Amino acid sequence: MDDSNKFLKIIFAVLLIITAAELYYFFFYQPTTTNNIVKKTLTTKPTTSPESQAIGTDTINNLSRYKKSILSSSIVSNKHEGKIVLIDDKGGFLKTEQFKYSLEIKIESNLNEFNSFFYSEKEIQQIKVFSLKNEQKEPIDISKLKIGDSIIIEESLNLLKEPIDNLKKLEISVL
């Protein structure tokens, strides 16, 4: 009886340690997620002055004051222009956004400011890529994009949907 009692105490101690470790992980260590909220456009250098912000803080604050029960539609169209300085089709994971991306395109403005655009596999399927010649859009494959290309990225987003699922239209035009 002594051996079986000793064996049960050891098993109980091991289970207690495992449970304590799981509770510690759950309450103190587990990284917080944002319900897969994705920020598709990230500036690569911190915005330090209001002059460099594309959208003013007051505008963002005003948008946040709308009530869900009243606002029935909110579609925003963005147009980004610049020269491609990076194309990463290996993909990766943005820890800060809890977002797995398959494509990153980084562009630079003529003022030496940068924006990176991260796209999921689902979003890549929605991208339409064109070559602009004589103001005519000629469809091309996304693989034709290369560093040094001057491009325009036009996107339409539904602000009432979560960022993971708010893309309505995405076109990239090579100038």
Look at the block and give the residue holding tokens 């987003």.
157
Length of the chain: 175
Least confident span in 56-60, 69-73, 126-130, 132-136 = 56-60
Tell me 90's DSSP state. Answer: S
61 vs 152: which has the higher pLDDT:
152
Tens digit of pLDDT for each residue in 19-76?
A: 877 877 766 664 544 444 444 554 444 444 666 778 888 888 888 888 889 999 999 9
Q: How confident is the model at residue 152 (pLDDT cuts 50, 70, 90)?
A: very high
Q: What are phi and psi of 124, to 5 degrees?
A: -60, -35
Q: Which residues pair with 77 in a beta bridge?
A: 156
Mean pLDDT of 98-105: 90
Residue 169 is predicted with a pLDDT of 94
- What does pLDDT average to over the chain? 83
Least confident span in 14-18, 46-50, 74-78, 150-154 = 46-50
Question: Please, which residues have CB within 8 angstroms of residue 140's CB and are 6 or more apart in sequence?
Answer: 129, 130, 131, 174
Percent of the chain with pLDDT over 90: 47
Would you list the domain boundaries of the chain? 1-30, 41-174
Euclidean distance between CA atoms 103 and 34, whole angstroms? 21
Q: Is the model's pLDDT at 153 over the cut of 50?
A: yes
Contact 117, 56 (CB under 8 A): no
Helices (H), 101-167: 121-126
Contact 132, 175 (CB under 8 A): yes
Euclidean distance between CA atoms 126 and 172, whole angstroms? 11
Which of 32-41, 58-67, 96-105, 149-158 is predicted most confidently?
149-158
Contact 105, 117 (CB under 8 A): yes
